[in-house]
C-alpha cells in the first residue's frame, strides 16, 4: 500500500520507490473510485522516488504544486494518504522542524527532510504534505518507529528536481531540447531559468539564450523543469513546440523542435523501466524503433487487464506515433499494445531491438505485426523504409 501524487494529466504519478520496489503488479485507485493497472516508468532508488503511469480514460487533474522554500516552523500542514489501507485519510499538524537528516537503515538515508507531527502511517508513503492553500509542499516518506507524531517528508522543491530527472524526455524518449536549466524558487517567485544552451542543439536553433525564463511550453504553464519536460513528452523530432520566453523585461516566443539524443546527458541514479538504452547509455535502440517503425514504446504487463482470451504475457505500449511512418500508415495508434513482430513476441524492449537489428530483416518482406486494442488482437503488415 502507498499513496501517489498526479503530476501530469496523462496519468503520470509520483510516489516513493520503496512503495513500488519489487512488486509484481500495481493497482491505482483514484479519488473518484476508478481503478487502473499501473506500470513503473522510472525511479531513483537513492532518493526514494518513482514515476508510475496509468492509462486513464480521461485527463486527470494535476495536484497544485507549492514550494518548500518559504516553509516556517509551526506552519500548519496536512498529510493525505492510504493510511493502513484507509483510503484518503487526512491528518493535520504543524511543521516541527526543517532540514532533518534521517537514516532509516544501512541502505537508505535521507537529507533535508521536513519533520511534521501530522500523523503519517504505513500507506502514507508517496502522498502529499499540503499547506493551508492546498498546495503540495512535501512528499511523505518516513516515520520514526516507536515514536509518536514524528513523520518526515521530502521538501517539494527537492522532490521536483528529482522528478524532472525521472520524467526527462532524454531518459524516456531519447530526444533532447539542448537546454541546461535551473529551478529558482523563493516563496511566490518561481521560475525556470536557462543556464546555458548546447551549441548547435535544438534550443540554440530556436534562438533561446542563457538567462531566458521559460514561461509556457505549448499548453503547459511552466514554473520548473518538471513542467517543461512533461510538456515535451510525446513530441517527435519534426514537430515544433511554441515556447513563451521572458527576456530583458519583455516576452517573446520561440519555436523549439526536438532532436534525437546522443545519450550524453544520462541522469545518474535514474533507472528507466523498459527503457531502450544500451549499456553505453546511447539511445540507439529507441531511436531505431522511432526511425524504422515510427513509434515510441514502453513495456507493460498484461496481468489483470481485461483483454479476453489473449495468450500474451505482456507487450510494448505505443506512446506516440510519427506522422507518415509505417506505423501510422498501417493504422497503429497511441494506446495500442505491440505484442508481436514477425514470428517473435515483443514482451521487452530487447525483443523489439532483436527483430529490428536482425540481419535477415530486409528479406522478410512486409513486417508482420500484432497489436492488442481493447479486447481484440489485430495484425497487419508494414512496408519498412528502404535500407532497413
In the chain, alpha helices (H)? 17-20, 156-166, 169-172, 202-205, 225-232, 284-288, 326-329, 349-356
What's the pLDDT band for 146 if we cut at 50, 70, 90?
confident
162: which 3 cell numbers? Answer: 528529482
The CATH number corresponding to 289-382 among 1.10.3720.10, 2.30.42.10, 3.30.70.20, 3.30.930.10 equals 2.30.42.10
CA distance 242 to 373: 32
CA distance 375 to 4: 29
Q: By the 8 A CB rule, do 216 and 243 touch? A: yes
Residue partners of 355: CB distance under 8 A and separation at least 6: 341, 342, 344, 346, 361, 367
- The mean pLDDT of 126-154, rounded to a whole number, is 92
Its pTM stands at 0.72
Whole-number pLDDT of residue 370: 92
Element counts in the chain: helices (H) and strands (E): 8, 26
Whole-number pLDDT of residue 281: 38
Q: Percent of the chain having pLDDT more than 90?
A: 56
Q: By the 8 A CB rule, do 191 and 290 touch? A: no
Annotated catalytic residue, options 17, 18, 177, 235: 18
DSSP designation for 1: -
- With a cut of 90, say whether residue 208 has pLDDT above it: yes
Q: What is the mean pLDDT of the chain?
A: 88
Whole-number pLDDT of residue 330: 92
Whole-angstrom CA distances from 41 to 48, 71, 72, 77, 147 are 14, 31, 34, 30, 34
Q: Is 282 part of the annotated catalytic residue set?
A: no
CA distance 354 to 276: 12
Cα separation of the two ends of the chain: 46
Tens of pLDDT, residue by residue over 320-359, are: 888 888 998 999 998 899 999 998 888 888 788 888 888 8
Whole-number pLDDT of residue 227: 97
Whole-number pLDDT of residue 184: 96
- The mean pLDDT of 138-161, rounded to a whole number, is 91
What's the pLDDT band for 112 if we cut at 50, 70, 90?
very high
- The mean pLDDT of 133-157, rounded to a whole number, is 91
Annotated catalytic residue, options 68, 96, 119, 125: 125
Class of the CATH domain delimited by 5-54: mainly beta
Q: By the 8 A CB rule, do 185 and 161 touch? A: no
- Give SS3 for 356: helix
* Fold (CATH) for 174-260: Pdz3 Domain (2.30.42)
Domain boundaries defined on the chain: 5-54, 174-260, 289-382
- The mean pLDDT of 138-142, rounded to a whole number, is 93
What's the pLDDT band for 1 if we cut at 50, 70, 90?
confident
- The mean pLDDT of 54-78, rounded to a whole number, is 94
CA distance 349 to 367: 17
Annotated catalytic residue, options 8, 17, 44, 48: 48
Tens of pLDDT, residue by residue over 68-86, are: 999 999 999 999 999 998 9
What's the pLDDT band for 309 if we cut at 50, 70, 90?
low
Name residue 154's beta-bridge partners. Answer: 139
Whole-number pLDDT of residue 205: 96
174-260 and 289-382: same fold? yes
343: buried, middle or exposed (CB in 10 Å: 19+, 13-18, 0-12)? exposed
3-state helix, strand, coil in the chain (%, to 5): 15, 40, 45
Q: Is 48 part of the annotated catalytic residue set?
A: yes
248: which 3 cell numbers? Answer: 530583458
Q: Is 69 part of the annotated catalytic residue set?
A: no
Q: By the 8 A CB rule, do 135 and 80 touch? A: no
- With a cut of 80, say whether residue 388 has pLDDT above it: no
Between 164 and 358, where is the model more confident? Answer: 164
- With a cut of 80, say whether residue 177 has pLDDT above it: yes
Tens of pLDDT, residue by residue over 270-299, are: 877 654 443 333 444 556 788 788 888 887
Whole-number pLDDT of residue 22: 80
Amino acid at each position: 500500500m502507498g499513496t501517489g501524487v498526479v503530476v501530469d494529466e496523462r496519468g503520470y504519478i509520483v510516489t516513493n520507490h520503496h512503495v513500488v520496489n519489487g512488486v509484481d503488479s500495481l493497482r491505482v485507485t483514484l479519488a473518484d473510485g476508478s481503478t487502473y493497472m499501473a506500470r513503473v516508468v522510472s525511479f531513483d532508488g537513492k532518493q526514494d522516488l518513482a514515476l508510475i503511469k496509468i492509462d486513464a480514460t480521461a485527463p486527470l487533474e494535476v495536484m497544485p504544486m507549492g514550494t518548500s522554500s518559504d516553509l516556517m516552523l509551526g506552519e500548519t500542514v496536512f498529510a493525505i494518504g492510504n493510511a493502513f489501507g484507509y483510503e484518503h485519510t487526512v491528518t493535520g499538524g504543524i511543521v516541527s522542524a526543517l532540514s532533518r537528516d534521517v537514516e532509516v537503515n544501512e541502505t537508505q538515508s535521507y537529507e533535508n527532510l521536513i519533520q511534521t507531527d501530522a500523523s503519517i502511517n504505513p500507506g502514507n508513503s508517496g502522498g502529499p504534505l499540503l499547506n493551508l492553500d492546498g498546495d503540495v509542499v512535501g512528499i511523505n516518506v518516513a516515520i520514526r518507529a516507536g515514536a509518536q507524531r514524528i513523520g518526515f517528508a521530502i521538501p517539494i522543491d527537492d522532490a521536483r528536481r528529482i522528478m524532472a530527472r525521472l520524467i526527462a524526455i532524454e531518459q524516456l524518449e531519447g530526444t533532447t531540447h539542448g537546454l541546461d536549466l535551473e529551478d529558482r524558487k523563493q516563496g511566490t517567485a518561481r521560475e525556470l531559468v536557462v543556464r546555458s544552451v548546447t551549441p548547435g542543439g535544438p534550443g540554440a536553433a530556436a534562438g533561446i539564450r542563457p538567462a531566458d525564463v521559460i514561461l509556457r511550453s505549448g499548453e503547459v504553464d511552466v514554473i520548473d523543469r518538471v513542467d517543461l519536460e512533461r510538456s515535451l513528452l510525446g513530441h517527435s523530432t519534426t514537430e515544433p513546440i511554441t515556447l513563451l520566453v521572458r527576456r530583458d523585461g519583455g516576452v517573446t516566443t520561440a519555436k523549439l523542435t526536438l532532436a534525437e539524443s546522443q545519450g550524453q546527458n544520462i541522469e545518474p541514479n535514474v533507472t528507466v523501466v523498459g527503457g531502450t538504452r544500451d549499456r553505453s547509455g546511447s539511445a540507439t535502440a529507441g531511436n531505431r524503433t522511432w526511425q524504422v517503425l515510427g513509434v515510441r514504446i514502453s513495456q507493460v504487463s498484461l496481468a489483470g487487464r481485461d483483454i479476453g482470451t489473449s495468450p500474451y504475457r505482456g507487450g510494448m505500449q505505443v506512446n506516440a506515433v510519427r506522422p507518415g511512418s509505417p506505423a501510422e500508415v498501417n493504422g497503429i495508434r497511441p494506446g495500442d499494445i505491440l505484442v508481436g513482430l514477425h514470428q517473435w513476441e515483443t514482451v521487452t524492449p530487447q525483443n523489439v531491438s532483436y527483430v529490428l537489428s536482425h540481419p535477415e530483416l530486409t528479406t522478410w518482406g512486409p513486417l508482420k505485426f500484432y497489436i492488442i486494442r481493447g479486447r481484440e488482437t489485430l495484425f497487419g503488415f508494414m512496408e519498412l523504409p528502404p535500407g532497413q
